[in-house]
Chain A
Amino acid sequence: MKILKLPKEKLDLFASVVQQFGELHAPVEQDGRYVFKRLTRWSDARLEYDRTILPPKKYFLPPREALFRYRPGEGFVPNTDGLDQRIILFGVHACDVYAINILDRVFAGKYKDPYYQARRKNIAIIGIDCLPDKQCFCRSMRADFVDHGFDLFFYDTGDYYQALVGTALGDDMVLATGNLFEPVDAAEIDDYKRRSWNKRRAFQVDVEIRDLPEIFEMEYQSEIWDELGEKCLSCGSCSMVCPTCYCYDVADDVELGSRAGKRTRLWDSCLFASHALVGSGENFRGSRSSRIKYRFYHKQRGFVAEYGRPSCVGCGRCVSACPVHIDVVQVIDRLRRVEDVASR
């Protein structure tokens, strides 16, 4: 991997050059929170942000997306609107890049999702390193660093950004800037290490995920699930804001007065009562507690069986989006806690 550095004062210049590769999107402030948005001017970008309300997944798997248009006589014609739009996402945190890498695996495999993949191909990612706040636990989830999935990744090492070049496109971006980027020397390598060390110590939240799948199995009947079930509002907020929740629903509609129509997919959540309801009226997860259990179980245990790691990246979004303060970290802590059997 190519590693270079960019003097901080040249970042603006870099941003203006890089626009030739696509529409620039970055976190901007919205009443004190942040959202990824198309930039109207570079000065709107907020690269030192905590977390965006929605993760970058909205670019790859939009909340609502027409998959097909249907016309009698023509059948289902794929909708390709917006699929080849070139976008540069500037300022994606490591955990979010990690999450995209996870989605990549879900939408690949034997049946590749061409909509996701087309967007993924056309959206460049320039990552940026960050410092954890009190809700971040990406380090525990092993997602505080990424080594692929981005085109460029910037580390703030003081006067410079140290830049990891991840792809040929990233390299093209570097080259397009002429000689803005410089090689790194030993001093910067030390700066990087120092920063890495500081970041590690800055985490305030820590959870242990080793052998968590086993503990989940053992605690499958735990009363924690009933308690959570009583609290959970089934509002779906956690799933919407999660960078790795990808459940979707599909619905067909017709146009007024014709048999033509379209097929749309839209974000769904396993916390909704309809999620596991089938035509016969049977609901495999009818109770709210079984649903919230499923969410945790699938992220922290099911995904491990399938893909070798939990799908949670520890971004902390669901913790801050839950109106009734359901907190993954606390739930995992409680599941891990050793309790005196006699007091149960």
Chain B
Amino acid sequence: MSKPTVGIFGLTGCAGDQLVILNCEDQLLDLVSLIDIRDFLMASSENNQDCQLDLALVEGAVLSNRDAETLRAIRKRSKLLVALGTCAVWGGVAAMNRGADRDADRDALLEEVYGDIGRGYDSTPAQALHEVVPVDFNITGCPIEKEHFLAAVASLLNGDLPLYPEYPVCTECRMRENNCLLIERGLLCCGPITVGGCDARCPDLRVPCVGCRGPAGDANAGSLVAVMEEMGFSRPQLAARLRTFAPGGVA
């Protein structure tokens, strides 16, 4: 069987998910022997920008017309398109104010930052990939977990779609037997509505979850907000916090 052709791309983001791929130090050489990486600008200067791809891994959000064009071109040449990381799946931090008035006036913001020149920049409000092209599946996380990436490739090579947890961070937090920061310390922890898979990385370090993986499949944000309001947090503060990484995720 011939090796699947793969492209790894970054739209606008921090390149963290591509870095996670490069951080698979122990598997990297195996990985490149199993798949045929044709296009990976961050790691190679010899890329084929037109070939058909069995698999495209795309990180980052769409923040410019240029990003949108790039993404459409990738979609056209790829059988499977995978959104890699919270930015690609949900929009990520760049999208946190989306829908708010300030973000709508992009030009004013650009001017605020860059001065007059800013108005000429190609810049659009942040969008997740699925808002621009159809996406075959998501690997969320900011950044993605290395194990999830490797498991996804292993599954795909076998012909299966990968499986990811749909339950929230709390589930894993409890499995790790952490003290609950929300209940016992009254901290604003997003664990109950954030999708698990990180093994409750933050609460395990006594740091409240900031929701970097985006919402859980069945997130009940309304109920969490109600309880937190009773704890003395204000609604706007909660809304802002819960939308930091995934504006579209929680109402």
Binding site for B on A (CB under 8 A): 30-33, 35, 53-54, 58, 63-64, 230-237, 240-241, 251, 253-257, 259, 267, 269, 272-274, 288, 320-321, 323-325
Contacts and interface: CB of A to CB of B under 8 A. Distances in A.
B220 A323 contact: no
A321 B183 CA distance: 8
Given A63-B175, A240-B171, A253-B151, A273 B217 contact: yes
Given A31-B179, A237-B170, A254 B220 contact: no
Contacts of A234: 167-168, 216, 218, 220
B191 interface: yes
Tell which of A253, A288, A321 has the most Cβ of chain B within 10 Å: A253
Contact of B177 (A35, A64, A323): A35
B202 interface: no
By secondary structure, the B interface counts as helix
B28 to A, nearest CB: 11
Contacts of A35: 177
B108 interface: no
Contact of A241 (B151, B158, B174): B174
Interface residues of B, number: 42
A71 to B, nearest CB: 14
Contact of B34 (A32, A64, A256, A273): A256
A329 B18 CA distance: 50
CB-based closest 9 A-B pairs: A240-B174, A235-B170, A63-B175, A236-B171, A233-B192, A235-B192, A256-B154, A273-B218, A257-B34
Contacts, number: 113
A320 B248 CA distance: 32
B224 A256 contact: no
Contact of A253 (B154, B171, B193): B154
Given A233-B193, A256-B34, A323-B182, A53 B177 contact: yes
Nearest to A54: B177
Given A33-B184, A272-B218, A236 B155 contact: no
A320 B158 contact: no
B153 interface: yes
Contacts of A272: 166-167, 218
Nearest to A231: B223
B10 to A, nearest CB: 23
A323 B170 contact: yes
Contact of A320 (B31, B183, B191): B183
Contact of A325 (B174, B222, B227): B227
Contacts of B238: none
B155 A230 contact: no
Nearest to A229: B220
Contact of A255 (B154, B163, B178, B218): B154
Contacts of A259: 158
Contacts of A253: 151, 154-155, 163
Nearest to B174: A240
Contacts of B171: 235-237, 240, 267, 269
A58 B175 CA distance: 9
Interface of B: 27, 30-31, 33-34, 150-151, 153-155, 157-158, 160, 163, 166-168, 170-171, 174-175, 177-180, 182-184, 191-193, 206, 216-220, 222-224, 226-227
Contacts of A32: 179, 184
Nearest to A320: B183
A148 B224 CA distance: 41
B113 to A, nearest CB: 38
By secondary structure, the A interface counts as loop
A30 B179 contact: yes
Contacts of A323: 170, 180, 182-183, 192, 224, 227
B174 A237 contact: yes
A69 B166 CA distance: 25
A236 B179 contact: no
Nearest to A238: B174
Contacts of A273: 166, 217-218
B177 A236 contact: no
A257 B154 contact: yes
B31 A256 contact: yes
B220 A236 contact: no
B233 to A, nearest CB: 13
B101 to A, nearest CB: 31
Nearest to B147: A253
A234 B27 CA distance: 36
Nearest to B183: A323
A253 B153 CA distance: 11
A254 B151 CA distance: 7
B7 to A, nearest CB: 19
A265 to B, nearest CB: 13
Contacts of B150: 256
Contacts of B174: 53-54, 236-237, 240-241, 321
A236 B220 CA distance: 13
Contact of B223 (A230, A240, A254, A320): A230
B30 A256 contact: yes
Tell which of B158, B174, B180 has the most Cβ of chain A within 10 Å: B174
